[in-house]
Amino acid sequence: MTELLLLVLLLPLCGCLFILTTKKDNINAFNVAVFTLFAVILLIVRLLQLQNMQMYDIEPYVIKWFKEYNAKLHFRADIYSLLLLLSVDISLLIGAVGLTVKQRKNKTLMLAGVYLAWTFGGLFCAGDMISFYIFFAAQLLPLFMLMGKFGNMRKNSSLSLFFIFNFAGIMLLLTAIILLYKFNQGNVLLTDITTIGLPRHLKLAVWSLISLSFIIRIPIWPFHYWISSISAGIKNPLVYIITVMLPLTGLYGFMRFWQYHIPQIVGSYVPVIAVFGILTMLFIAIIGTSHKDFLQKLFSYSTVYYLLFLLSDILLNGMYKLNIVYALFIFMIVNSSLAVLDLWSENACEESNCGYHGILAYMPRLSKIIAFFVLIAVGLPVSSMFWNNFVLISAIFKANFAVGLGIMISISMVGMALLYELYVMSDLQTNYPATEITVEDISDRKLAFFIGVIILVFLSFFNPLWFII
């Protein structure tokens, strides 16, 4: 099993090397990227099949680099990290499928996508503080470059804030790691952090630094507005999906550290995080209902749900961790699919010069696919996201009624915003008679791909791990 885990970590890096050897303005880089993502997906599924479900863990693979400096790197994976990594790779594959022919020839884009798949794999499988930090920090530069190239260039100040805040988060985490390294006299396994005898004041400082570094990655006030302004201008499906994955790294940090390692003195700040989280959810939900752009509404939807998962992790005990991962698994796939489908409809609208209102009326096959994903997103009981969100929200209501009420209001608002946008896209106005406009519907190949995604999502309703059990 450790050999398969090593392949999961190294295969994207090999894919990057092959992409570098391809010619510019050639489809080969896209083919390498798709093959790499698909191969990693198969390896993860195989790892889940081989894994002992009772152990929930895989034997660690230890890299003995820098052994003389007590800085050996450990990599291990459990059901939580493997499922999250699987959702990331499937989402990236969906984003790659959604690219136009011209976009697929962008060698830099393909390289960045596979590289970020590698960093997500390293981050989710890291077993020590140094390797966790390496992959946490390695994501900043390519994300900054992608947002600068494909984002809304009228928002240069927002792009600068993105870099400053995330760089500050990296430095905060680095400071915490240096302190832990010093007191442990070497690298620290993530499972052994609580065994380090830190003084009380230093323990508070270290865990505050770690928590802040993760919060900065999550779109919670005051760290959210610059992300939304950049995302609104991204019309490349793969880049948009990569952008909305950024909060997942901060959320995973909390999921990895909070339940079992956080000291009581830092846990006392949970009500403060909950208040800011609820206020951000309500504000983002209001913004989502007021915007006319579907991607802006989708960004509001994803932000609200990321905060739901964050509050579930810090307010509930560890027994709900698997519910969070099951819900996240489908959430990532549905969110990515909606982004791709919406951009397809927008491109068809521009090419046919037919107006956004009622565009889906000309595309019956695409309209059925996007309607299904919207209904899943707003809570249709056909996926594991429905059941697990129900469990999480019920538990939050039991723990804190006010927080639960704020979550329900926010979720209802973003859900209604998506439904309304679906109505706008499907409602044909008399200004554009169907007989005068010809719009190319979704191709057979793309239709087959998304039918496969729908089957994956639907079968998760019965068992999120149906493909391995």
Query: What is the helix (H) or strand (E) element at residue 62, kind and residue range?
Result: strand 61-63
Q: In this predicted structure, what is the pLDDT of residue 223?
A: 63
**d(Cα 469, Cα 439) in Å, to the nearest integer?**
43
**d(Cα 27, Cα 168) in Å, to the nearest integer?**
38
**d(Cα 294, Cα 306) in Å, to the nearest integer?**
18
| Cross-strand pairs, 62 | 74
One pLDDT digit (tens) per residue for the chain, 469 residues: 678 888 898 999 999 999 988 888 788 899 999 999 999 999 998 888 877 554 445 556 555 555 556 667 888 888 888 999 999 999 999 999 988 888 888 888 999 999 999 999 999 988 888 889 999 999 888 888 887 777 655 556 677 777 888 888 899 999 988 888 888 777 888 877 777 777 778 888 888 888 888 888 887 776 665 565 566 667 888 988 998 888 899 999 888 877 556 666 666 777 888 888 898 889 888 888 887 788 888 888 998 999 999 999 888 877 888 899 999 999 999 999 999 998 888 877 776 666 677 778 888 888 889 999 999 998 888 888 998 999 999 999 998 899 999 999 999 999 999 998 888 888 766 554 554 566 777 888 889 999 999 999 999 888 888 777 6
Taking CA atoms, 136 is separated from 64, 118, 163, 321, in Å, by 20, 11, 14, 21
What mean pLDDT value characterizes the chain?
Answer: 83
Domain count of the fold of the chain: 1
Whether residue 51 is contained in a domain is answered as no
**d(Cα 216, Cα 222) in Å, to the nearest integer?**
9
Which residue in the block uniquely carries the two structure tokens 């493997």? 82
Whether residue 251 is contained in a domain is answered as no
Whether residue 64 is contained in a domain is answered as no
Whether residue 140 is contained in a domain is answered as no
Rg (CA), the chain: 22
Residue 74 — φ and ψ, nearest 5°?
A: -115, 135
Nearest CA to 134 among 123, 143, 124, 144?
123
Whether residue 230 is contained in a domain is answered as no
Nearest CA to 249 among 335, 139, 348, 349?
139
* Per-residue pLDDT tens over the stretch 245-273: 888 999 998 888 775 566 666 667 778 88
* Per-residue pLDDT tens over the stretch 166-181: 888 899 999 988 888 8
Whether residue 316 is contained in a domain is answered as yes
Show the domain range for 348.
269-469
Whether residue 465 is contained in a domain is answered as yes
Nearest CA to 231 among 216, 247, 215?
247
